[in-house]
Amino acid sequence: DIQMTQSPASLSASLGETVTIECRASEDIYSNLAWYQQKPGNSPQLLIYDANSLADGVPSRFSGSGSGTQYSLKINSLQSEDVASYFCQQYNNYLTFGSGTKLEIK
Amino acid sequence: QVQLKESGPGLVQPSQTLSLTCTVSGFSLTSYSVHWVRQHSGKSLEWMGRMWSDGDTSYNSAFTSRLSISRDTSKSQVFLKMNSLQTEDTGTYYCARLYGGIMDYWGQGVMVTVSS
């Protein structure tokens, strides 16, 4: 099974800052990676797919990058509505999620 | 528009069987696969299994021995049955539509507590 190691587990940043969340796969997943945002009390929502493609309706301050086993999600100009948990998910071989990053505003 | 909605009992006794239903609208189960994902309170997401558009199924090896997924296309419903429930099975269960490997639509989730 492919393991996804996500870091950090939690993150606190100020409004307007840029934050980055990392995900490392246990083997090459060929950019078959998605990022989801889950706001408190809600179900996850798709942000990024194919490592760097923005899902419909997602603000352009979100971006994804990476290849091979290393991937990242960047949020520019942090807004209050970005308070949420973020999960990576590989779909190269079955499906596996990262452990999540809880983002708070400082 | 695309919608998925989970339903089922909120409380299940230990060692009993969990039965959940995912009712979908806005798309056909013969065109898209539907997945079940579990989330322990405040924790990560765990893929459980899927119903393919052709009716085939596949499961996370962690659940294979006690999980069964089926469907009724005439009612646009996908079913999850998991037996031998334990307290660690407590959590929120989601169904989600898969499109090219990604879960583009999710249900609201159903919270299940395993307790006597």
Contact B44 A91 (CB under 8 A): no
How do residues B70-90 score in pLDDT, each as one tens digit? 999 999 999 999 999 999 999
CB A67 within 8 A of CB A100: no
How do residues A38-60 score in pLDDT, each as one tens digit? 999 999 999 999 999 999 999 99
CB atoms within 10 A of CB A106: 9
A2 touches chain B (CB under 8 A): no
Contact A44 B45 (CB under 8 A): yes
CB atoms within 10 A of CB A101: 22
Q: Which pLDDT value is given to residue B41?
A: 80
- Which residue does chain A place closest to B60, by CA atoms? A94
- Between A and B, how many CB-CB pairs are < 8 A? 48
Q: Which residues of B touch A34 (CB under 8 A)?
A: 101-103
Closest by Cβ to A32, choosing from B101, B103, B107: B101
Query: B101 pLDDT band (50/70/90 cuts)?
Result: confident
d(CA B103, CA B88): 25
pLDDT at B64 over 80: no
